Amino acid sequence: MKVFLTGGSGYIGRATIAELVRQGHDVEALARSERAEDVVVAAGATAVRGGLADLEVLRRAAAGADAVVHLAQATSGEEDLAAAEAMMDGVGAGTYVHTGGCWVYGDTDGVRDESAPWNPPALVAWRKSVEEAVLARAGEGGRPVVVQPGLLYGGDNRLIDHFFVQPGVRDGAIPYLGDGGNHWALVHVDDLARLYVAALSAEAGSVYLGVGGVDPTVREIAEAVARGVGLEGKTTSISLEQARAEMGPIADAFALDQRFTPAKARRELGWEPRHTDPLAVFAQG
């Protein structure tokens, strides 16, 4: 299958290109710069020069593909939807896999699945209208699928780094929010890459949480990170107000208490997370 992919030079994109190639697919990847082109080519894809605002480039590339995987982070809901619509117009009845995120559900109050009500923090509230518009194409002859990743770990991770590095090591200790009792719904980047490939065969209108099913508390994660960087036993609490001042609105997303099950992707796609001990990965540094 020929697959067109956006965001190929990013953390998730590189892993997804590698998995697509490993499974025998031919990949073209959007590259907005010479550096990005070098990265996607090294990962195994053919580069298509352009950015998310280049709608005709997106439409043409999607039209030449059997399926599309949209991983690139847009600067706004308007940009994300315009890019999605261009690629869905191009790929037609081929599968279009759109990236959402599990933060849109807010605090989950226990273990939940894709049927959980939305209660997003302000940072990701824009996703609802975009995902609704994407999924509406299922009734118009399209084949849209939405993947909602959890918080990623493994490899060259930048988002979790943002939490632990941005506030900084305080007096030789790794920070966590409040009492650290909130859970993070984690997924290993390699498992998520396999889910994106599996989603190419999903039914139109499907939505899948991309989570590993192991949701440790933030304090447990901080303790494991501390071990990994040679600061075992040295963690410290910071307030949400401190985190907001230093990280901005993303602090409210990191403060969510979320637990999810990957049962739907297991049942419908045969996808099984292989990485089931995230704390061990964090403790490796």
Q: How far apart are CA 172 and CA 160, in angstroms?
A: 19
Q: How far apart are CA 13 and CA 198, in angstroms?
A: 15
Residue 76, in any domain of the structure: yes
- State residue 120's pLDDT score: 96
CA-to-CA dists, residue 283 to 152, 169, 179, 245, 249, angstroms = 15, 16, 20, 28, 28
Sort 114 into a burial class: Cβ within 10 Å, 0-12 / 13-18 / 19+.
Answer: middle
Q: Kindly give, in sequence order, each residue whose CB lies less than 8 Å from that of residue 141, ignoring residues fewer than 6 positions away.
A: 92, 93
Dig out the tokens for 133 from the structure: 């518009």
Residue 132, in any domain of the structure: yes
Q: How far apart are CA 139 and CA 97, in angstroms?
A: 16
Where the chain has pLDDT below 70, the residues are 157-158, 162, 165-171
Residues 50 and 28: beta-carbon distance below 8 Å: no
- State residue 172's pLDDT score: 80
Residue 13, in any domain of the structure: yes
Locate all alpha helices (DSSP H) within 23-109, ordered by sequence. Answer: 34-43, 55-63, 77-91
Q: Kindly give, in sequence order, each residue whose CB lies less than 8 Å from that of residue 36, ignoring residues fewer than 6 positions away.
A: 8, 9, 47
Residue 29, in any domain of the structure: yes
Residue 179, in any domain of the structure: no
CA-to-CA dists, residue 257 to 24, 97, 109, 182, 243, angstroms = 38, 27, 7, 4, 16
Residue 92, in any domain of the structure: yes
Of the candidates 208, 212, 221, the residue with the CA atom closest to the CA atom of residue 259: 212
Report the domain count for the chain.
Answer: 1
- State residue 165's pLDDT score: 62
Residue 231, in any domain of the structure: no
Question: Which CATH number is 123's domain given?
Answer: 3.40.50.720
- State residue 157's pLDDT score: 67
Residue 96, in any domain of the structure: yes
The DSSP secondary-structure symbol of 125 reads T
Domain that holds residue 119: 2-153+186-212+260-273
**Cα dihedral 86→90→96→98 (10° resolution):** -10
Query: In this structure, which amino acid lies at residue 244?
Result: R
The DSSP secondary-structure symbol of 213 reads S
- State residue 235's pLDDT score: 93
**Chain-centre distance of CA 137, in angstroms?**
22
- State residue 155's pLDDT score: 81
- State residue 246's pLDDT score: 85
